[in-house]
């Protein structure tokens, strides 16, 4: 091979200018001991090479194609690409014929180079390298030897698998390599690995890996195509786009993306921070689309919106901090089988979302997490499901809206806080059995919101230990097997909320088997139910107030526990109410629009104070009625009568000195002997509720 590196730039330029044809064999003197860097041919726009100590500079006067026999740069060496003065936006295509290109040193361009392309079907590795270009850059394993340099598109590539190793051909950026690309940085290869390096791309980084059509053409299956795009401990400035139609994406170990991340993958997308100290950080939006496998964002912080959508696969966020909205969706439906990751959206661990959380799943949604300890599909010796629930907490600054569309559950097993909560769980029938359609909890996780909407095709409530199975086992069983439990009364527990307003509570009144459909809800604080169309509703709020009013329809409402105050809207009720009178322990039933008679009793203060309670030493009486009498004016605090005062003060004409009456189980509003008033006084001193006293604002 002829060595022309001693020729001067003037001599070369003169020769090239005269001949305007391709030239052979130019040894740059770089990469000695590492395969070398030898130019095979160039086109006529190549304007010659100058060399210095451990450096070579290639000069161009127009778009050029440089065909290299080998292209390698050692750690102490520099390869420069310069457009001559007077040129601008040049495209320089470099194609490599033999061996992987190993770049340990520097590659630079001047401002006249608009796009630098390195094409090597054998792979390209940057290890501790420094790469600086003013314009766009493309690194690819596509064979571009016969490509017209004036008509270059991203396209696909010819070589996918190294015949010697049967491994995917790759581009690698490793070990503190530092890329500064002024324009767009595009990498096109079957496999890309970025590890512990920095990339700055002014117009973004685009990773095109494992083109689906080409990969299938090579006879490869999905299972052979794992982990073809790796970003590990990377520091990337600029937007990142991953196009990986059949392969997988792995982002790990504290990778930082100062911009948006947009990815479309055919395989899994695992964005894992190893732990709290190695979080993935994305300063912009994270938009990830999958096609049937796993999408997981774990131990991560995203300053923008998060959007994860999968065509029938598994979607999970875990220990995520999101400063805006989070949207999770898995749209496809898969037959019920042991490949359970096809059917879930998981919200796991300690997650904080500043905006709204919207979840849509074809089958299951689990706000919480568990580990499976018994799997009947995993071993012939195991014929039952079992597992352990795992801890966590979900805080959402905005609203949570979750919907199961085709036969799963919405299950909550970690404390959850949001402004408003809206759950919808729809069942699915395959002609043999009905799947899912329940809103469940472990009976311990607390949901805190201002308003709640629950719509279910089946049971709403918690699960409890019974029949030798723990709550954890039951959660795993119903989630993994999509059980439909519309009439689960023997193993029920209450779904726990922290007070607020239930504005929608919707279930069928009867199951397909003709059984009552039950709802069990327990509130830690005052509870208002002003919207329902359900079967049997079971409510409890120990020592707190329950108000049922407005557009509420049900077969019956059962009030259990030691509720401090029960206030019903009597007019137009179409449900039966059952509660226990603690004075005698007798269950009282109020039929729709029934007239109810109570014995009177007097409070020590002589009136029904808002904080008045009667007890039997253990339990607190709850009271029924639409409005409470107010205290009478006292000489120390005179208050002139008003229409409202007159209507709410209890005055018994035959004994005006008698203090205002209290009822043990009902607020009796506006006692009067006039039968047209809401309540009437009976001869025996009892009170009958004829109709409800008007609610405030009526």
Binned at pLDDT 50, 70 and 90, residue 385 comes out as: confident
Could you tell me the residue ranges of all domains in the chain? 1-209, 359-525, 530-628+641-698
607 pLDDT exceeds 60? no
Percent pLDDT > 90 in the chain is 51
The whole-model pTM stands at: 0.83
What is the rounded distance in angstroms from the CA atom of residue 330 to the CA atom of residue 500?
A: 30
What is the rounded distance in angstroms from the CA atom of residue 31 to the CA atom of residue 28?
A: 9
Q: For 499-521, what is the mean pLDDT?
A: 92
Strands (E), 331-419: 344-348, 350-353, 357-361, 364-367, 369-374, 386-390, 393-396, 400-404, 409-412, 415-417
Q: What is the pLDDT of residue 227?
A: 60
Q: What is the pLDDT of residue 242?
A: 94
138 pLDDT exceeds 60? yes
Other CB atoms within a 10 A radius of the CB of residue 506 amount to 18
Buried/exposed 528-548: b ≥16 CB within 10 Å, e otherwise: bbbbbebbbbbbbbeebbbbb
Other CB atoms within a 10 A radius of the CB of residue 604 amount to 9
The pLDDT tens digits of the residues spanning 402-434 come to: 999 988 899 999 999 999 999 999 998 888 888
644 pLDDT exceeds 80? no
Residue with structure tokens 């909550």? 412
What is the rounded distance in angstroms from the CA atom of residue 267 to the CA atom of residue 81?
A: 38
Pairing of strands 460-463, 492-493: antiparallel
Q: For 19-36, what is the mean pLDDT?
A: 78
580 pLDDT exceeds 80? no
Complete DSSP assignment for 144-204: -TT--TTS------S--B-TTT-PBPEEEEESS-EEEESS-EEEEESEEEEES-EEEETT-
Mean pLDDT lowest among 25-34, 448-457, 612-621: 612-621
CA dihedral over 685, 689, 690, 695, signed as positive or negative: positive
Mean pLDDT lowest among 305-314, 592-601, 619-628: 619-628
Q: What is the pLDDT of residue 266?
A: 83
Mean pLDDT lowest among 118-132, 145-159, 342-356: 145-159
Tokens of 188: 């096109």
Mean pLDDT lowest among 189-193, 321-325, 477-481, 596-600: 596-600
Q: What is the pLDDT of residue 291?
A: 83
Mean pLDDT of the chain: 79
Mean pLDDT lowest among 36-45, 95-104, 161-170, 256-265: 161-170
303 pLDDT exceeds 90? yes
Percent pLDDT > 70 in the chain is 73
Q: What is the pLDDT of residue 108?
A: 98
Q: For 336-342, what is the mean pLDDT?
A: 45
Q: For 264-273, what is the mean pLDDT?
A: 89
658 pLDDT exceeds 90? no
17 pLDDT exceeds 80? no
Tokens of 30: 């770089």
The pLDDT tens digits of the residues spanning 71-98 come to: 999 999 999 999 998 899 999 999 999 9
390 φ, ψ (degrees, to nearest 5): -110, 150
217 pLDDT exceeds 70? no
Tokens of 231: 């970003």
Maximum Cα interatomic distance, the chain, rounded to a whole number of Å = 128
Q: What is the pLDDT of residue 383?
A: 81
Q: For 499-511, what is the mean pLDDT?
A: 95
What is the rounded distance in angstroms from the CA atom of residue 461 to the CA atom of residue 514?
A: 19
Q: For 653-669, what is the mean pLDDT?
A: 36
The pLDDT tens digits of the residues spanning 662-697 come to: 333 333 222 333 333 444 444 444 555 443 333 333
Q: For 518-547, what is the mean pLDDT?
A: 93
Residues with Cβ within 8 Å of residue 378, at least 6 apart in sequence: none
What is the rounded distance in angstroms from the CA atom of residue 531 to the CA atom of residue 520?
A: 16
Mean pLDDT lowest among 14-23, 483-492, 518-527, 572-581: 14-23
């Amino acid at each position: 091979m002829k060595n022309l590196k001693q020729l001067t730039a003037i001599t070369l330029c003169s020769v090239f200018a005269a001949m305007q044809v391709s030239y052979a064999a130019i040894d740059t003197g770089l990469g000695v001991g590492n395969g070398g860097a030898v130019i095979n041919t160039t086109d006529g726009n190549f304007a010659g090479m100058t060399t210095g100590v451990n450096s070579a500079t290639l000069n161009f006067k127009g778009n050029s194609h440089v065909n290299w026999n080998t292209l390698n740069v050692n750690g102490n060496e520099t390869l420069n690409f310069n457009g001559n003065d007077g040129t601008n936006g040049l495209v320089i295509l470099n194609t490599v014929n033999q061996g992987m290109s190993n770049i340990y040193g520097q590659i630079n361009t001047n401002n006249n180079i608009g796009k630098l392309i390195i094409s090597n079907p054998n792979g390209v590795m940057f290890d501790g390298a420094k790469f600086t270009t003013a314009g766009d850059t493309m690194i690819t394993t596509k064979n571009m030897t016969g490509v017209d340099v004036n008509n270059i598109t991203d396209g696909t590539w010819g070589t996918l698998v190294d015949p010697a190793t049967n491994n995917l051909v790759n581009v690698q950026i490793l070990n503190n390599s530092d890329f500064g690309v002024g324009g767009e940085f595009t990498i096109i290869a079957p496999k890309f690995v970025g590890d512990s390096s920095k990339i700055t791309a002014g117009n973004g980084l685009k990773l095109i890996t494992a083109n689906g059509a080409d990969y299938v053409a090579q006879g490869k299956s999905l299972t052979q195509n794992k982990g073809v795009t790796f970003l590990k401990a990377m520091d990337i400035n600029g937007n990142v786009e991953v196009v990986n139609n059949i392969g997988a994406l792995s982002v790990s170990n504290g990778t930082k993306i100062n911009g948006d991340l947009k990815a479309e993958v055919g395989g899994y997308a695992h964005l894992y921070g190893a732990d709290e100290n190695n979080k993935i950080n994305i300063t912009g939006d994270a938009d990830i689309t999958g096609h049937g496998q796993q999408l997981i964002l774990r131990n991560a912080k995203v300053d923008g919106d998060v959007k994860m959508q999968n065509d029938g696969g598994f979607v999970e966020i875990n220990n995520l901090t999101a400063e805006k909205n989070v949207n999770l969706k898995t749209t496809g439906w898969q037959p019920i089988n042991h490949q359970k990751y096809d059917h879930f959206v998981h919200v796991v661990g300690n997650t904080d979302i500043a905006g709204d959380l919207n979840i849509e799943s074809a089958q299951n949604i689990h706000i919480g997490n568990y580990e499976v300890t018994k799997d009947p599909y995993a071993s012939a010796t195991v014929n039952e499901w079992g597992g352990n629930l795992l801890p966590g907490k979900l805080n959402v600054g905005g609203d949570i809206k979750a919907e199961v569309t085709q036969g799963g559950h919405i299950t909550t097993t970690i404390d959850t806080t949001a402004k408003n909560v809206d759950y919808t769980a729809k069942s699915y029938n395959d002609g043999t059995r009905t799947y899912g359609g329940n809103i469940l909890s472990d009976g311990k996780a607390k949901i805190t919101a201002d308003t709640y909407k629950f719509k279910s095709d089946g049971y709403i409530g918690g699960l409890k230990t019974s029949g030798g199975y723990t709550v954890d086992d039951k959660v795993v069983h119903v989630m993994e097997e999509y059980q439909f439990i519309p009439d689960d009364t023997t193993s029920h527990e209450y779904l726990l909320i922290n007070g607020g307003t239930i504005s929608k509570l919707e279930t069928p009144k009867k199951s397909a088997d003709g059984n009552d459909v039950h709802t069990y809800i327990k509130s830690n604080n005052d509870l208002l139910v002003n919207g329902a169309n359900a079967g049997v509703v079971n409510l409890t709020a120990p020592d707190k107030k329950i108000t049922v009013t407005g557009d509420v329809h049900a077969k019956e409402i059962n009030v259990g526990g030691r509720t401090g105050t029960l206030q019903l809207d009597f007019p137009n009720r179409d449900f039966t109410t059952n509660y226990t009178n603690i004075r005698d322990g007798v269950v009282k039933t109020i039929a729709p629009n029934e007239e109810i008679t109570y014995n009177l009793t007097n409070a020590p203060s002589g009136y029904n104070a808002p904080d008045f309670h009667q007890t039997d030493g253990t339990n607190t009486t709850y009271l029924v009625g639409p409005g409470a009498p107010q205290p009478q004016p006292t000489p120390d605090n005179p208050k002139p009568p008003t229409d409202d005062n007159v209507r709410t003060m209890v005055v018994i004409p035959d004994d005006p000195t008698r203090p205002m009456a209290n009822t043990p189980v009902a607020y009796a509003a506006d006692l009067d002997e006039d039968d047209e008033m809401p309540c009437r006084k009976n001869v025996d001193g009892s009170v009958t509720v004829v109709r409800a006293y008007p609610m405030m604002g009526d």
